[in-house]
Chain A
């Protein structure tokens, strides 16, 4: 504390009063608390990872056994068994393929419908624009829970029950996406569209060649949100489909658990390999999520 490096001086060399800075010990305590809180939140995830590499004998006991470094070969063996057993117990490649296919279609549709609608709402003038935009925004107020019963009945009527289409089409437009893209298009200067018009561009070319390319960062945010929402969805595909060949990963995981209820080490392995892709995606593209987190639509689909 007596070292000069902890006293701060302003430009004229006067010492800045200590109380204006948070004293160091307090910062230390805050850092320790933050680390503890972070570990508390990560702990269930880490515990699952640990269970997935443990033999049943080690974790079906209280307190669970932790092996000394000399016996770590045991973990490798147990992990190989758990992951192989879980992987063999369900058509995971199919679930993964379905999930990726559905998510990619949802993202493509969401971006297409979003770009078109947002551009029209932001830059074009047409009768009823205000009313239609209000209509779109009002869609946000209807929760998925309310939509499930009627859509289930309608899907059956239309012959869409138990298809890919019922898992894709209803999610092919996002209020959040339209809202964000519209906000972005509104910030563009009018001059670039005037210039495009002088070149003889119509609205389609203005969107495709001028506004669209500029909107790529916003599109990434909207697309990621749609992707995560689709990847994490459970309730909708669970009730809208019945065949394993069409079902996505989260429904598959639930089915796996209900069929292998007491295989906790195998279940933990399945949780790990089904969740790792989402977590990696999140960690790599974190900055986009943080901006997207303020939406109440999208990622929180349940």
Chain B
């Protein structure tokens, strides 16, 4: 992450024309001199922002702080008053790896999932975006079908793949048996379970990333590409030396947002593997629920939430910096 961040200052300003989202408003001095001043300086403004701030305060800001507090307790779910303050005890258990499964194991599983999901997702999204970037009806239909997989709900799509990965009658094994290959217990074999989940996750999420890249490609300079072609560059040279450098901010954006969403992933683990077999698909995101809601280790679950929050915070800050650059 740090490398992509440090390279931003040189690469980003050149592509300032492109931005995902709506056109940024120009708030110039003209606006500030507006004469509709009296009505719009009314203290009613506080009443206007109050409902939103109240909802965020009650359901996001306070609970976030409360998570920190719960994470310092050996929380008693049946009778919270009986909870015992243990300071950093949950974090000590976490770092020493004495929980079951150990934190470091779930951390490793998370890294495997996030890195594979992000790398495969980003590359595939870029390839698909290059393929369907043009404005024809056919390409628009192709983009729609990628996006359809993204818009379809998580439980429904995970169930679809549960059926595809079914060891006896699933389509995945149908393909293997057609090719005369030995069949695989996709979700029940710890060597393949995570791989299967990654296949599902990439399928489910890549349509959104394709859209970001198509948006990015629309901002790249067609003239530069034409000039490169006229100078005799082959398509690969044109892509790697002309188009890709202009897309770097979009690549960074996609990497960060898909890292954040991969870290939070829960539904596919819940539906497809339940974190198993063994703990081979127990990510931090999955263990958090497991510990807090199934095993009753609420304090430890909260400590995992804090860790997840801190990682997300760092990624979000990087993302905000990228977005700020993009919207220039």
Q: Footprint of B on A, CB under 8 Å?
A: 19-20, 30-31, 33-35, 37-39, 41-42, 44-45, 47-48, 51, 59-64, 109, 112-114, 116-117, 119-121, 123-126, 129, 132, 135-136, 139-154, 157, 169-170, 172-173, 175, 178, 180, 183-184, 186-187, 190, 193-194, 196-197, 201-204, 206-207, 228, 231-232, 234-235, 239, 250-251, 253-254, 257, 264, 267-268, 271, 274-275, 278-279, 282-283, 286, 289-291, 293-296, 299-300, 302
The answer to whether B220 has its CB under 8 Å from any CB of chain A is no
Contact residues in B for A153 (Cβ distance below 8 Å) = 66, 70, 80, 298
Give complex CA distance A84, B108 in Å.
45
Given A116-B49, A296-B257, CB of A150 within 8 Å of CB of B148:
no
Contacts A41-B146, A142-B60 known; 11 new A-B pairs at CB < 8 A? A35-B142, A44-B164, A48-B160, A145-B263, A147-B64, A149-B305, A151-B59, A154-B63, A197-B36, A234-B155, A291-B22
Whether A194 lies near B309 (C-beta < 8 A) is no
The answer to whether B180 has its CB under 8 Å from any CB of chain A is no
Would you list which residues of chain B between 290 and 328 have a CB under 8 Å from chain A? 292-293, 298, 301-302, 305-306, 308-309, 312-313, 316-317, 319
Whether A38 lies near B45 (C-beta < 8 A) is no
Interchain CB contact (< 8 A) of A132 among B49, B60, B173, B267: B49
The answer to whether B138 has its CB under 8 Å from any CB of chain A is yes
In the complex, what residue of chain A is closest to B205 when comparing beta carbons?
Answer: A300
In the complex, what residue of chain B is closest to A254 when comparing beta carbons?
Answer: B155
Give complex CA distance A293, B40 in Å.
33
Question: From residue A196, how far is it (CB to closest CB) to chain B in Å?
Answer: 7
Question: From residue B167, how far is it (CB to closest CB) to chain A in Å?
Answer: 11
Q: Footprint of A on B, CB under 8 Å?
A: 20-25, 27, 30-31, 34-49, 51-53, 55-56, 58-64, 66-67, 70, 80, 128, 131-132, 134, 138-139, 141-142, 144-149, 151-157, 159-164, 166, 168-169, 171, 173-174, 177-178, 203, 207-208, 211-212, 215, 226, 229-230, 257, 260-261, 263-267, 270-271, 285, 288-289, 292-293, 298, 301-302, 305-306, 308-309, 312-313, 316-317, 319
Whether A117 lies near B153 (C-beta < 8 A) is no
In the complex, what residue of chain A is closest to B139 when comparing beta carbons?
Answer: A34
Contact residues in A for B27 (Cβ distance below 8 Å) = 186
Give complex CA distance A290, B150 in Å.
12
Give complex CA distance A254, B261 in Å.
21
- Name 27 interchain pairs, CB-CB below 8 A, sorted by A: A34-B139, A37-B131, A38-B141, A42-B145, A48-B163, A62-B174, A63-B178, A64-B171, A116-B49, A120-B45, A124-B42, A125-B45, A143-B309, A146-B305, A146-B312, A148-B288, A149-B305, A150-B70, A178-B52, A187-B23, A190-B30, A203-B39, A206-B39, A253-B156, A275-B153, A278-B151, A302-B154
In the complex, what residue of chain A is closest to B162 when comparing beta carbons?
Answer: A257
Cross-chain pair count, CB within 8 angstroms: 322
Give complex CA distance A56, B25 in Å.
58
Interchain CB contact (< 8 A) of B22 among A60, A62, A180, A267: A180
Give complex CA distance A190, B320 in Å.
29
Whether B229 lies near A20 (C-beta < 8 A) is yes
Given A34-B131, A194-B35, A291-B22, CB of A41 within 8 Å of CB of B152:
no
Contact residues in A for B261 (Cβ distance below 8 Å) = 296, 300
Contact residues in B for A146 (Cβ distance below 8 Å) = 64, 67, 305-306, 308-309, 312
